Amino acid sequence: MRSRLFLWVPLALFAFFAGVAGYMLTQEKDEFVESAMIGQPLPDFALAPAYGGLPGTSKADFTGGKPRLLNIWASWCLPCIAEAPQLEALKAQGVEIVGIAIRDRPEAVAGFLARHGNPYARIGSDPISEVQLAVGSSGVPETFVIDAQGVIRYQHIGDIRPEHVPVLLAELEKAR
Amino acid sequence: MIAEIGLAALWLAAALAVLQMVSGAFALRAAEGEVNPLAIYARPAAVVQAVLAVLAFIMLLWAFAITDLSIKLVASNSHSMKPMLFKLTGTWGNHEGSMLLWVGVLALSGGLLAGFEKRLPARTMGATLAVQGFVALGFYAFLLLSSNPFERLPVPAAEGTGLNPLLQDIGLAIHPPTLYAGYVGLSVAFSLAMGALLTNQVNPSFARVLRPWVLGAWVLLTFGITAGSYWAYYELGWGGWWFWDPVENASLMPWLAATALMHSVSVLAARDALRTWTIMLGVLAFSMSMLGTFLVRSGVLTSVHAFAVDPERGAFILGLLLLYIGGAFTIFALRAGAVSEGKRFAVTSREGALVFNNVMLSAILAIVLLGTLYPLLTEAFDVRVSVGPPYFNPAGAIFAVPMFLVMAVGPLLRWKEDKPKRLQFELMLIAALVIGTIALVSFFGQFPLLPLLGLGLAAALAVAAFLPLKGRKLSRVPVATWGMVLAHFGVAVSLFGMACEGAFSQERLAAVAPGGTEQVGDFSFTLESVTPVAGPNWTAIEARLAISKDGGEPVILAPQARNFWSPPMATSESALLTRWDGQLYAVVGNQAEDGRWQIRVWWKPFVTFIWYGGLLIALGGILAIAGRVKVDVKRRVASAKGAERRADIEALGAAAPVPAE
């Protein structure tokens, strides 16, 4: 009689796979890459104005007084149009929003703001995604809560839907 | 009404699957040579079930054709403005529809097996149909309980939401159905293997029944993978032809297992060797198909093929996997020890070479499987990794290179035992071709190692593929042997294409102002204009490139950057210039601030040979089937004649005894 032990090998391998796969199915699927920058101070940066209407921005704008929102967006980005009303709502609640326009042109920025409203206090232009990558954002739109000391406290990935507005307000309150 | 007919057909088919399973199982309770009266229902149940499942699929096809927006699946995946062809292909461009297609093909292959296969002993056939019914039942349950394709909306939608534009392509019309037919064709191999194992009938006549199914499924898989690779190549606009994406790997793994199975089943048929191994591969091949379905449909792995995923459905399919693969491997472990060992053979023999390559194929399969599942494993420990070409290419090559060498020699060896000395000339020729080609190519420049090896092996294989014909009268060579020659030659052609693409591709990415000219390889391209164009459900920016080789007559290529509006999505439509010695591949990108356009152009020498080779391989498989069927029909006719003659003799003998000589 041949040794029969090896006949069990396929079953054992399969059982191992099934165990791992079963475990993974129970895990919350997280498709987004979260910034490793949460809890870290903002990197040093200084960006030129994205268009003629508002000043540019630098790290200094985020220190002192109150927590602020840093909104990474672009005029060519469709979800950014979808989140514009929510940014307006946040502004109406007294939130100061600083924008960074990614790979954009002044005319396009001005056109976007004319069409979809302007909730921003300042907009810096980031033509090569330098600051975007430095704060740990992988796409547009993304929104960060920055506390009064200039430390990144919270990251929202994707467009802000109406249900996210209270979440962001709560995070701003926590960062106070 | 359409949806209700489809749904009713599905439920009835599921009920018949139960009947098929139970009735098939009763066949096992019959004594040797007898037929259990309850076992006669299995065959008709399988046939009718096939008709019903196909009917259900046709109903869904119809619903998509007339864009019946009261059906949820149609409303969420189709659009009344879509061209008719893409309305129809949209039927299987979504989860529920593609699962219905899967089940339809499963039932159809079960029905064909039940309807046409008369050679197997009744007990083995019963067990096989029982397993086939059991497998089908699980997938009916999945369809009916968690992914009902015929679900109605409470209020019909005003308009559909459209189909992912990447899928609005003729490639989608061909690629998934052929792949599915191949995947699911392997279910018959699985059922037959289990049936033979349960009734201890693992022998050459079983192998002859199994072979056409394996060959057929393998041809479809080969064709589906080839089509899929070409589709990804021109549709995704990245210029690559294989991305080692989990979903691609999910189609490659059953193919590797089926390739090994096809060869081992031939050994079993011809020489009565490799019994346990053939059963193992039969189980493995379909297991890989189901595993692929699980990986694709559950969303446990992140892939460019971002299908709508649902963990609940994933859990359901995982349950089915546990039942079928776990069950099959358990039976294998318990019963395979009872399968007596097949005939023995020497290391240097045709069998020896086939076993070696079987092991190599299995090793490559293990490497692909490991690379595909590794991210899943590490993610369980919260580490995110992505495994790509830097792992797959060299790790696969470690086993592929010796496999190609043995593949060149194997068909020249004799069965049972052979002396390498007899093949001195052929061995020298193969070695000379490998070394000569590599030396020649290295002389002209520095190229990466793998493509270089690939070129050498391709040259040797291309010649070696025809060596089995040496010294034979070509008109008398069996069709199946021509099939083998052609398929092996196809491997050489494909390998040549891959190696050339890897070694000699030239790429140019440039920002070009209208009127500007750039150079890639021997070609110069001029950006003549960039204009907006519109299609039925998209608008696009179209660049017109005038391409000329060495200053010759220019040819116009028009790559587009398309924007679909329902659903909103941007795609890059590449434009291809195909010549006999390669392809020019052009893509248009964004406009830069200064008004120049990003244009990316590749010159890929002999890249088309990858797919020509794939088609040759599939064609070889078709010839092999044709040859086997021809021999089989001849044999049946001959044995029928023989039976007649024996009956005549007996009748004569009863009337007048034959005088003793």
Cα three-residue angle B6-B7-B11, rounded to 5 degrees: 120
State the pLDDT at residue B529. 86
What is the average pLDDT across B299-323? 69
Residue B538 has pLDDT above 80, yes or no: no
pLDDT band per the 50, 70, 90 thresholds, residue A1? very low
Q: Judge contact between B352 and B420, C-beta under 8 A.
A: no
Tens digit of pLDDT for each residue in B429-472? 999 999 999 999 888 888 888 899 999 999 999 999 998 888 88
Which among A124, A159, A104 has a CA at the least distance from the CA of A49?
A124
| Residue B598, phi then psi, degrees to nearest 5 | -80, 120
Separation CA B331–CA B199 (nearest Å): 12
User: In angstroms, how far is the first alpha carbon of chain A from the final one?
Assistant: 76
pLDDT greater than 90 at residue B311: no
The pLDDT of residue B301 is 64
Tens of pLDDT, residue by residue over B343-371, are: 788 888 888 899 899 999 999 999 999 88
pLDDT band (50, 70, 90) for residue B100:
very high
CA-based nearest residue in chain B for residue A9: B333
- A positions 136-165 inside 8 Å of B (CB): none
Give DSSP secondary structure letters for B45-100.
Answer: HHHHHHHHHHHHHHHHHHHHHTT-TTBHHHHHH--TTS-HHHHHHGGGSSHHHHHH
Would you kindly state where each structural domain of chain A is located, as residue ranges?
Answer: 46-174
Task: Please determine, for residue B306, whether its predicted confidence score (pLDDT) is greater than 50.
Answer: no
Find residues 66-105 of chain A whose CB sits inside 8 Å of chain B.
Answer: 78, 105
Q: CA-to-CA distance for B237 and A31, rounded, in angstroms?
A: 23
How far is B337 from chain A, CA to nearest CA, in Å? Answer: 6
What average pLDDT does the segment B552-560 reach? 86
Kindly report which listed range (B73-82, B253-262, B553-562) carries the lowest average pLDDT score: B73-82
- B484, B492 Cβ separation under 8 angstroms: no
Say yes or no for a CB contact (<8 Å) between B321 and A18.
yes
Mean pLDDT for the stretch of residues B159-177? 70
Question: Are B283 and B193 within 8 A, CB to CB?
Answer: yes
Closest to A11 (Cβ–Cβ): which among B318, B329, B380?
B329
pLDDT at B517: 86
Q: Identity (one letter) of the amino acid at B494?
A: S
Can you give the pLDDT at residue B383? 67
SS3 B513: coil
Q: How would CATH label the architecture of A46-174?
A: 3-Layer(aba) Sandwich (3.40)
Share of chain B above pLDDT 90, in %: 33
In the predicted structure, residue B305 carries a pLDDT above the cut 60: no
Alpha-carbon distances of B484 from B479, B487, B616, B646, rounded to whole Å:
9, 5, 10, 37
- Does B661 have pLDDT greater than 50? no
CA angle B135, B137, B138 (to 5 degrees): 70
What mean pLDDT is predicted for residues B27-54? 84
First to last CA, chain B: 77
- Name which residue leads in pLDDT, A17 or B211: B211
pLDDT of residue B575: 86
For residues B51-67, average pLDDT: 92
- Chain A CB contacts of B329 under 8 Å are 10-11, 14
Say how far apart CA B498 and CA B508 lie, in whole Å.
20
More confidently predicted of A3 and A5: A5
Least confident among B183-197, B370-384, B519-533:
B370-384
Q: What is the pLDDT of residues A90-133, one digit of tens each?
A: 999 889 999 999 888 888 888 889 888 899 999 999 887 788 88
Flag if B325 and A105 touch (Cβ within 8 Å). Answer: no
Distance from CA of B363 to the nearest CA of A (A): 14
* Mean pLDDT (whole number) for B132-151: 90
On average, the pLDDT of chain B sits at 85
Kindly indicate whether the ipTM for this predicted assembly is greater than 0.85, answering yes or no. no
Instruction: Decide if pLDDT at B399 tops 50.
Output: yes
Alpha helices in B147-203 (DSSP H): 170-198
CB A42 within 8 A of CB A135: yes
Closest residue to A25, CB basis, from B315, B332, B333: B315
pLDDT of B312 strictly over 80: no
- Best mutation site among A3, A5, A25, A27 for testing chain B: the one with the most B CBs within 10 Å? A25
- B472-512 tens-digit pLDDT: 888 888 888 899 999 999 999 999 999 998 888 888 888 88
pLDDT computed for residue B385 by the predictor: 67
CA distance B310 to A3: 43
Residue B660 has pLDDT above 50, yes or no: no
Name the residue among B314, B333, B377 with its Cβ closest to that of A25. B314
Per-residue pLDDT, B550: 80
CA distances to A134, B49, B105, B557 from B601, rounded to whole Å, are 32, 52, 41, 11
Distance separating alpha carbons of residues A97 and A91, to the nearest angstrom: 7
User: What angle, 0 to 180 degrees and rounded to 10, lies between the N-to-C axes of helices B327-335 and B170-198?
Assistant: 30
pLDDT at B300 (0 to 100): 65
Task: Specify the pLDDT at position B168.
Answer: 66
Residues of chain B with C-beta less than 8 angstroms from the C-beta of A78: 568
Among A45-59, A146-160, B24-38, B530-544, name the one with the lowest average pLDDT: B24-38
Of the residues B293, B300, B332, B365, the best mutation for testing chain A's interface (the one with the most A CB atoms within 10 Å of its CB) is B300
DSSP for B17-55, please give it. HHHHHHHHHHHTTSPTT---GGGGGHHHHHHHHHHHHHH
What percent of chain B is modeled with pLDDT above 70?
92
Taking the Cβ of residue B514 and every Cβ of chain A, the question of whether any pair is shorter than 8 Å is answered with no
A48 touches chain B (CB under 8 A): no
pLDDT of residue B654: 60
Rounded Cα–Cα distance for residues A144 and A153 (Å): 7
CB count within 10 Å of CB B581 equals 12
Assigned token pair, B505:
């591709």
- Taking one residue from A and the other from B, the number of pairs with CB-CB distance under 8 angstroms is 65
Are the beta carbons of B28 and B127 closer than 8 angstroms?
Answer: yes
Q: What pTM does this model have?
A: 0.80
B300, A19 Cβ separation under 8 angstroms: no
- Cβ-defined contact of B299 to A29 (cutoff 8 Å): yes
Q: So what's the pLDDT on residue B51?
A: 95
Is residue B308 over pLDDT 50? Answer: no
Q: Is B38 exposed, middle or buried (0-12, 13-18, 19+ CB in 10 A)?
A: middle
pLDDT band at A3 (very low <50, low <70, confident <90, very high): low
Mean pLDDT of B255-264: 94
B326–A14 C-beta distance less than 8 A? yes
The per-residue pLDDT for range B314-349, each reduced to its tens digit, is: 788 888 889 999 999 999 988 888 777 777 888 888
> A21 vs B318, B359, B422, CA distance in Å?
8, 26, 52
- Using DSSP's 3-state secondary structure scheme, residue B166 falls into helix
Residues forming beta bridges with residue A156, ordered by sequence position = A143
Q: What is the pLDDT of residue B492?
A: 95
DSSP string, chain A: ----GGGGHHHHHHHHHHHHHHHHHHSPP--S---TTTTSBPPP-EE-BSSTTS--EEGGGGBSSS-EEEEEE-TT-HHHHHHHHHHHHHHHTT--EEEEEES--HHHHHHHHHHH----SEEEEETTSHHHHHTT--SSSEEEEE-TBSBEEEEEES---TTHHHHHHHHHHHT-
